[in-house]
């Protein structure tokens, strides 16, 4: 059967938590507590990675690295990373349940895809402990994929490595990478899809990359919305996306298009 068999969705910013705000605010807070003022843009840049890797990535940014040396008179080390993460996890856990609302259109889209016989997997930058909160609360609100994998399952090797996608493929019995579509909202999602050799799709509205709340987005003038959509799409494409969609509601139509490409012998550009 030469067509798409499964979809692998990211969680925050793709399926739940419009704008992916749960972790961002905590990253800003823990750095502030350490005496460093980081921007929302800096806090978002590594989004999608395993959270301790995210902290490490922030500390290696030239501006933040320089601020750290000014504050402490030395370069950061692994002990500093672990101390920041030890503060991050409990802070995130306190508020995580509040950021589990499905993004508009997701529940209906997933139902439509399931009705076509497609399997729904998922990957995340959250740990197993975090996902216990996210999956339970999202399910109460109507969203639940068939399977989810965290970096805890892949020996803490998260995005941009492809192993979480491979674990989904194994569990859901998906036959080949070119029969799988990965959908995410960060550059690390795109890189994960590229490295797995699957069709890779960036979803724009509600994404961490766009970085706006639902109220902020809906209040924008139409021209500003279109400019932001174009800018976000360009970032995804430059990071390896085969396609971008404005919202998840466009995914079923895109799957039809991908099926036509597969029938024509086409494969993801990474394969």
Judged by phi (left if over 0) then psi (alpha if -120 to 50, else beta), residue 100 lies in alpha
Which residue out of 51, 119, 179, 182 is catalytically annotated? 51
51 as an active site residue: the answer is yes
**246 a catalytic residue:** no
- The reply, when asked if residue 10 is annotated as ligand binding, is yes
Cβ(149)–Cβ(156) under 8 Å?
no
How many angstroms separate the CA atoms of 254 and 243, rounded? 9
CA 195 to chain CA mean position, Å? 15
Ligand-binding site membership of 263 (annotated): no
What are the structure tokens assigned to 208, written together? 């961490």
Ligand-binding site membership of 185 (annotated) = yes
Which secondary structure element, helix H or strand E, spans residue 68, and what is its range?
helix 62-72
Question: What is d(CA 131, CA 127) in angstroms, rounded to the nearest whole number?
Answer: 6
Choosing from 10, 17, 189, 242, the catalytic residue is 10
CA dist 131 and 263 (Å) reads 37
Work out the angle between the directed axes of helices 22-33 and 78-95 (0-180°, nearest 10). 130
Tell the burial category of 61 from Cβ atoms under 10 Å away from its Cβ (0-12, 13-18, 19+): middle
User: Alpha-carbon distance 123 to 102, whole Å?
Assistant: 16
Annotated binding-site residue numbers = 10, 12, 185
- Catalytic center residues: 10, 51
Binding residues for Mg(2+), as ranges, are 10, 12, 185
């Amino acid at each position: 059967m030469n067509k798409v068999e499964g979809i692998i969705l990211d969680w925050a910013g793709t399926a739940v938590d419009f704008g992916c705000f749960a972790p961002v605010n905590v990253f800003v807070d823990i750095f502030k507590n350490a005496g460093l003022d980081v921007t929302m843009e800096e806090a978002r840049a590594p989004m999608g990675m395993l959270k301790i890797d995210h902290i490490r990535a922030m500390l290696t940014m030239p501006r933040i690295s320089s601020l750290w040396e000014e504050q402490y008179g030395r370069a950061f080390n692994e002990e500093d990373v672990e101390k920041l993460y030890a503060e991050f996890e409990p802070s995130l856990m306190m508020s995580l349940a509040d950021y589990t609302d499905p993004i508009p259109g997701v529940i209906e889209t997933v139902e439509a895809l399931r009705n076509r016989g497609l399997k729904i997997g998922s990957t995340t930058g959250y740990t197993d402990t975090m996902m216990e909160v996210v999956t339970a609360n999202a399910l109460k609100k109507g969203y639940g994929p068939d399977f989810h994998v965290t970096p805890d399952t892949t020996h803490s090797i998260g995005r941009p490595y492809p192993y979480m996608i491979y674990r989904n493929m194994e569990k859901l019995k998906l036959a080949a990478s070119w029969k799988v579509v990965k959908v995410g909202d960060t550059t690390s999602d795109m890189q994960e899809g590229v490295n797995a050799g699957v069709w890779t799709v960036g979803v724009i509205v509600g994404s961490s990359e766009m970085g706006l709340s639902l109220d902020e987005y809906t209040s924008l003038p139409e021209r500003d919305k279109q400019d932001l959509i174009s800018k976000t799409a360009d970032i995804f494409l430059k990071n390896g996306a085969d396609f971008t969609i404005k919202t998840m509601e466009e995914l079923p139509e895109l799957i039809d298009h991908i099926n036509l490409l597969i029938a024509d012998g086409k494969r993801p550009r990474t394969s």
